[in-house]
Structure 1
Amino acid sequence: MSTLVEDNPAKHRFEILVDDALAGFTAYLMRGEVLVFTHTEVDRGFQGKGVGGALMRGTLDEVRARGATVVPQCPFMAAFIDKHPEYADLVADLP
């Protein structure tokens, strides 16, 4: 199974493709250099296969590479960051 996480700025979301099929996304709002993540969805056919975790890792790694930060309003992302404290430094407070 090949996966690719990429930003789709036109739709304000990071998407995960599994074998070239859209398997899920995490939506965000831009607030300067802060990305406020509001919602995550994984297609039912891909649930329970690690796709959500791969989406979070790919998204947060890209945010880190950009030098940006996140506000995880989405419960899925918030829970992922709680379980993976290596990403806790990316969490910002909204001004």
Structure 2
Amino acid sequence: MSDQQAAPSEAAGPDGTDHQGADLDDDDTGAPPPVVIEPEDAEPAMPEPRVEVRRNDEGERYELSIDDHIAGYSEYKMSDGRVVITHTATLPAYGGRGVATTLVDQMLSDLRQRGERVVVKCPFVAEFVTEHHEFDDIIDG
């Protein structure tokens, strides 16, 4: 090396270019850097809705409520010591959310726990029990 030519600085790259102070994350495309959303910046999560199934003996039906609003019900009547399920409905605003399926599953579980025998006259419940054989032990006729 001649006296006239300065030695490359220690920060110089292999090509002799000085990269000292350069931001190595720059991609030189001109695109803005990606935005990282930290948990404290994210929108708060919606609380899970409170779902409750209860037996309404006075109304002779089981009711499923979401956040204290009735979303569906399954009507029954007592006959010869058995629970006859006659009709299941979901309010239109709650359709397509599995309300009737959840209602029937929990209703049949409750009836089993109570030691009740069940007769199914409701088409929806009839279809449900053909697909859920775990309730065969409480279904009559």
> Per the shorter chain, which TM-score range?
over 0.9
1:53 corresponds to which of 89, 97, 101: 101
Q: What runs of 5+ residues in structure 1 fail to find an aligned partner?
A: none
Task: Give the distance between the partners of 1:85 and 1:78, measured in 2 at CA.
Answer: 11
Task: Give the distance between the partners of 1:83 and 1:2, measured in 2 at CA.
Answer: 27
Between 1:2-11 and 1:25-34, the stretch displaced more is 25-34
Structure number having the greater helix percentage = 1
Between 1:54-63 and 1:26-35, the stretch displaced more is 26-35
Q: Which has the larger radius of gyration?
A: 2
Q: Match of 2:112, SS?
A: helix
Aligned residue identity for 1:86: E
Aligned residue identity for 2:60: H
The aligned counterpart of 2:129 is: 81
Is structure 2 residue 61 aligned with structure 1 residue 6? no
Between 1:84-93 and 1:52-61, the stretch displaced more is 84-93
Task: Give the distance between the partners of 1:32 and 1:65, measured in 2 at CA.
Answer: 19
- Of structures 1 and 2, the one scoring higher in RCO (CA 8 A, sep 6+) is 1
The aligned counterpart of 1:64 is: 112
Is structure 2 residue 30 aligned with structure 1 residue 30? no
Aligned residue identity for 2:104: M
Q: Number of residues paired by the alignment?
A: 93
Aligned residue identity for 1:13: R
- Give the share of equivalent positions with the same residue, in percent: 34
Structure number having the greater strand percentage = 1
RMSD, matched Cα: 1.0
Between 1:83-92 and 1:73-82, the stretch displaced more is 83-92
- The C-alpha deviation readout for 1:15-65, integer Å capped at 9, x for no partner, is 001111000100001024310001111001111101111100110011001
Task: Give the distance between the partners of 2:97 and 2:130, measured in 1 at CA.
Answer: 20
